[in-house]
Structure 1
Amino acid sequence: MYLRPFDPWKAKLCTCPFKYTLNVYTGCDHACLYCYITSYIPRAFRVRTKEGLLPKLERELRKFDRRYIVALSYSSDPYPAVERELGITRRVLELFRRHNVRCLLLTKSDIFERDLDVLSELSCAVGITVTTVDETKARLLEPNAPSPMNRIRALRKARDAGIPVYARIDPIIPFYTWEDFDKTLNALKFVSHITVSTLKLRADIRKRMEAKFPALMETLNSLYKRGERIGGYRYLPRGLRFQILREAEKRINNAGITFGSCREGYHSYPSCDGSHLVPP
């Protein structure tokens, strides 16, 4: 089955409403230092196609309960660089259009701009992840992803095409991306909903971060040692974490945007993931 109920690691802090998820590709070539998929996808930063995806997916869609949303994608970005040539995600979207499937799309790419003609005919919402609008910091954190401003430009075009749009500012990294939060938020003031989450460390993530940011990680490691261990991850201390989330929520709400948090034990309204934006 390619369509699967979304159940992220059975995380006790996950507040996602019930939905399905589809990963068009296996692996993601953005190679973000903080990426969690390296814990369960072999050669996670190498993108592979899935044999027989389109005909098998169409058979599944014939029986799919259209009350539910399909999210693209939470383990592998639906728009890796190779999508420009292969167009597999575009063909998936065309299947969704044919079968009246509701879709929640999330990407760290600007390639989706090519597919606005299809997306504008779907019951969908489109979102991007922007960790920071500082291009230098973004390139260090997300070495192969398109620039943040290119993503934002493409998302604005989606909004102008009448598509509901949202964003994730994720992860918030103390002493690094948190310093740019106001600038990042200001660049995203046209969206309807923003989801945030703080950096969560696991051994493989810590190793990549320490190799690129040794001084920063020396400071962060001392913080995370005092934090909670939840679901295999080390979290920031709860007091500091909630302080950051409260401040992020205040700034987002003051911009007239609804707020969500992801796997934080903190509240969201009206949804954590932006799924409330998908038209019925």
Structure 2
Amino acid sequence: MYIRPFDPWKSKLCTCPFKYTLNVYTGCDHACVYCYITSYIPKAFKVRTKEGLLPKLERELRKFDKRFIIALSYSSDPYPTVERELGITRKVLQLFKRHDVRCLLLTKSDIFERDIDLLSELKCAVGVTVTTVDEGKARLLEPNAPSPKARIRALKRAKEAGISVYARIDPIIPFYTWEDFDETLSALDFVSHITVSTLKLRPDSKKRMFAKFPSLMEKLWPLYERGERIGGYYYLPRGLRFKLLREAEKKIVEKGITFGSCREGYRSFPTCDGSHLVPL
């Protein structure tokens, strides 16, 4: 089955409403230093296509309960570089249109701008992840992803086309992306919902972070050593985590934007993931 219930971590802190997920590709070439998929996807930064995806997906969609949402994509970005040539995600969206599927799309790319004509005809909400609007920091954190400016520009065009739009500011990294939070939020002040999440480290991502950001990690890792270990992840101490989330929430709500948090044990309203934006 390509369409599966969303619960990859079985985390006690996951507050997502019930939904399904579909990863159009296997792997993601954005190669973000903090990425978690390297813990469970072999050769995670190499993008592969899925054999027989489209005909198998169409068969699954014929039986799919249209009351539920399908999220694209949480383990592999639906718009890797190769999507410009292959157009597989666009073909998936065409199937969604044919079968009247409700869709929550999340990406760290601007390629989705190509599909705005199609997305505007779907029951969908479209979101982008922007870790920071500082272009230099973004290149270091997300070396192969399109620039934050390009993502935000594409999202604005989606909104102009009448599509519900949301964003993730994720991960919040103390001493690094948190320093730019106000500027990042200001650049996203046109969206309807923002989800935030603090940096959560696994042994593999911790190793990459130390290799790429040794000075930062000298300050950051002692905080994680004093923090919690939940579901295989290192978390910031609860007090510090909630302090950051409270500050982020206040700033977001002051702009008239609804707030969500992801796997934090903190509140969200009306949903953590923005799924409330998907039309019925």
Shorter-chain TM-score range? over 0.9
Identity score, percent: 83
- Deviation string for 1:198-250 (max 9, x for gaps)? 00011101110011100100111111000000000110011000000000000
The answer as to 2:251 corresponding to 1:251 is yes
| In 2: Cα distance, 1:248 partner to 1:25 partner | 32
**Correspondence list, 1:136-155, <5 A:** 136-155=136-155
Q: Residue type matched to 1:123 in 2?
A: K
- Aligned position for 1:73: 73
The number of residues matched between the two structures is 280
**Deviation (angstroms), 1:9:** 1.3
| In 2: Cα distance, 1:144 partner to 1:33 partner | 11
| In 2: Cα distance, 1:206 partner to 1:220 partner | 11
Would you say the 8 A contact 1:8–1:14 is kept in 2?
Answer: no
> Where do 4+ consecutive residues of structure 1 move more than 6 Å?
none
**Correspondence list, 1:95-110, <5 A:** 95-110=95-110
Q: Secondary structure at the match of 2:269?
A: coil
Q: Secondary structure at the match of 1:229?
A: strand
| In 1: Cα distance, 2:229 partner to 2:158 partner | 38
Would you say the 8 A contact 1:77–1:107 is kept in 2?
Answer: yes
Q: Residue type matched to 1:274 in 2?
A: G
| In 2: Cα distance, 1:209 partner to 1:13 partner | 24
| In 1: Cα distance, 2:201 partner to 2:59 partner | 39
The answer as to 2:36 corresponding to 1:31 is no
| In 2: Cα distance, 1:3 partner to 1:237 partner | 35
Q: Secondary structure at the match of 1:93?
A: helix
- Aligned position for 1:231: 231
Would you say the 8 A contact 1:26–1:47 is kept in 2?
Answer: yes
The answer as to 2:134 corresponding to 1:134 is yes
| In 2: Cα distance, 1:82 partner to 1:159 partner | 25
Q: Residue type matched to 2:61 in 1?
A: L
**Deviation (angstroms), 1:123:** 0.2
- Deviation string for 1:153-186 (max 9, x for gaps)? 0000000000000000000000000000000000
- Deviation string for 1:7-42 (max 9, x for gaps)? 121100000000000000000000000100000000
Question: What TM-score results when the alignment is normalised by the length of structure 1?
Answer: 1.00
Q: Residue type matched to 1:146 in 2?
A: P
Question: What TM-score results when the alignment is normalised by the length of structure 2?
Answer: 1.00
